[in-house]
Amino acid sequence: MRFKDKNVIVTGAARGIGRATVERFVAEGANVLAVDLDFGDVGSIDIVNKENAAQAHALALDLSGDDAPRRVVEAARQLGRHVDFLINNAGVGGSKALALSDDALIDRILAINLRAVLRLTRDMLPGLADGGSIVNVASVFGETGFPGSTAYAVSKAGVSQLTRQLVADLSFRGIRVNAVAPGVIHTAMTAHRLSHDADYNRAMVDATPLKSIGTGAQVASVIAFLCSEDASYVTGQVIAVDGGWLACHSHA
């Protein structure tokens, strides 16, 4: 129960890494505001079992909307007087090579993956506890080149740099800021490519030294570590959770 009575916001919380992160924090005693466009209404969300469902509350919200940060801030006030941890996980894929990327695609990916993170983090800062933590979900694609992923890769590279920049801006408050960079993970975003794209499987799964696909729970465990006292001297890091893919990518 490392996070008993701690207040947490998790975006992109309906499935995949976000859902697993909510489950992890609830299991360790936290109160969680779970934000996702796919939630139907604000209210309780049954995350682990009925006994602790009251610890997690769902907010249905498009984070690219003009009033999205304000609505999250207002909903967060229901958790308590401050927020201890902000987990910026929400993201979209569907990227293409730049020559095939129209304005609508570029705008959509940057709006959710980067602009929404900047705006929400900015507006949450007054309510974020001194000594708290921010964990951003970046990607291995933001750390190295990968064919056909321009807007997505650029957005995630921005998230990684935001992580480092916030250390320069927020450390005086004792706020630690880190990121995780997942590799190939079982999520709704990767399901189609894993099932239908042989080139993607060769480039990602076959080239992963651990020869396996990661799970949301494995990423969530690193996020939880970064928020814990065990990581009290860790800040400004982008930690790959990728089975070794990034370490060996240039040699694959």
CATH dotted code for 7-251: 3.40.50.720
Residue 130, pLDDT > 90, answer: yes
- Per-residue pLDDT tens over the stretch 212-223: 999 999 999 999
SS (H, E, C) the chain: CCCCCCEEEEECCCCHHHHHHHHHHHHCCCEEEEEECCCCCCEECCCCCCCCHHHEEEEECCCCCCCHHHHHHHHHCCCCCCEEEEEECCCCCCCCCHHHCCHHHHHHHHHHHHHHHHHHHHHHHHHEEEEEEEEEECCHHHCCCCCCCHHHHHHHHHHHHHHHHHHHHHHHHCCEEEEEEECCECCHHHHHHHHHCHHHHHHHHCCCCCCCCECHHHHHHHHHHHHCHHHCCCCCCEEEECCCHHHHHHHC
The predicted pLDDT at position 250 comes to 58
Predicted confidence band of residue 45 (pLDDT cuts 50, 70, 90): low
152 given a catalytic annotation: yes
Tell me: the pLDDT tens digits for 136-154?
Answer: 999 999 999 989 899 999 9
Average pLDDT over residues 222-241: 98
Q: Residue 46 — pLDDT band, cuts 50, 70, 90?
A: low
Out of 152, 183, 219, 242, pick the active-site residue: 152
Of the listed ranges 162-176, 220-234, 238-252, the one predicted with least confidence = 238-252
pLDDT digits (tens, 9 = 90+) for 5-16: 999 999 999 999
**165 has a pLDDT exceeding 90:** yes
40: confidence class by pLDDT, cuts 50, 70, 90: low
